Amino acid sequence: MELSEFIKASLAEDLGDGDHTSQSTIPSSQVGKAHLLVKDDGIVSGLNVAKEIFKTVDPDLILTFFARDGEEIKKGDLLFNVDGKVQSILIAERLVLNCMQRMSGIATTAKKYVDAVAGTNAKILDTRKTTPLLRFLEKEAVRTGGAHNHRFGLYDMILIKDNHVDSAGGIQLALEKAKLYIESKNISIPIEIETRNLEEVKEAVISGIPNRIMFDNFAPELIQKLY
């Protein structure tokens, strides 16, 4: 979903026929200032989303940023100020916080795993086990934390899992069917296959078909036998 569509739908869900609390207690012309303070150390993500949310609610709001997505932040840091109509700030406030808290949490967690494999050739990948309709934001947060996106959905990669292997009749048959499918459709997407034991890994390698082989729930000791 495009960011603009997401913001409009999210605001509509929250706003309904109006922010009756603000409308009843705050004059529409009243202006003020708000700022976002960090409550915990981590990696910030979602500042670009916050900017678009404020602009969508009220283009006249003035934003001043003191950080960039992907930067390390400390408790007490000031991320941004927003000046303008108080009613507009209050409408945007919760959506901004919800998005930034979630995205910064994901980015911070991703960075921990990235740091853990620093100095190696390993890359940290995400999954498509994401929150429905928030995938594009969550995957952006993964990248902000220095990790990498795996596949975005079912359409941009063939990922043959254990159920596919069993239904197709085995590793070799599943891979051959996937290769023929790609050729018949004239599409260019990678093929990955999930393996459950060393025998399946060997079979996948011998086939020469997959672009990537996944070791599903392999113990570290078992993976070491592959090297």
pLDDT tens for each residue of the chain, 227 residues long: 589 999 999 999 999 999 999 999 999 999 999 999 999 999 999 999 999 999 999 999 999 999 999 999 999 999 999 999 999 999 999 999 999 999 999 999 999 999 999 999 999 999 999 999 999 999 999 999 999 999 999 999 999 999 999 999 999 999 999 999 999 999 999 999 999 999 999 999 999 999 999 999 999 888 888 77
According to DSSP, the residues that pair with 33 across neighbouring strands are 83
* Number of independent structural domains in the chain: 2
Angle between helices 3-15 and 135-144 (to 10 degrees): 120
- Residue 108 and residue 191 in one domain: no
Write out the residue range of the structural domain in which residue 163 sits: 157-224
| In-domain check, residue 35 | yes
Q: What is the model's pLDDT at position 222?
A: 87
167-203 core/surface letters (b: 16 or more CB in 10 A; e: else): ebeebbebbeebbeebeeeeeebebbbbbbeeebbeb
Q: Which residues are catalytic?
A: 94, 129, 161, 194, 216
Q: What is the model's pLDDT at position 223?
A: 85
- Domain assignment of residue 139, yes or no: no
DSSP letters along 185-223, please?
HT----EEEEESSHHHHHHHHHHT--SEEEETT--HHHH
User: Which is nearest to 40 in space by CA: 93, 90, 107?
Assistant: 107
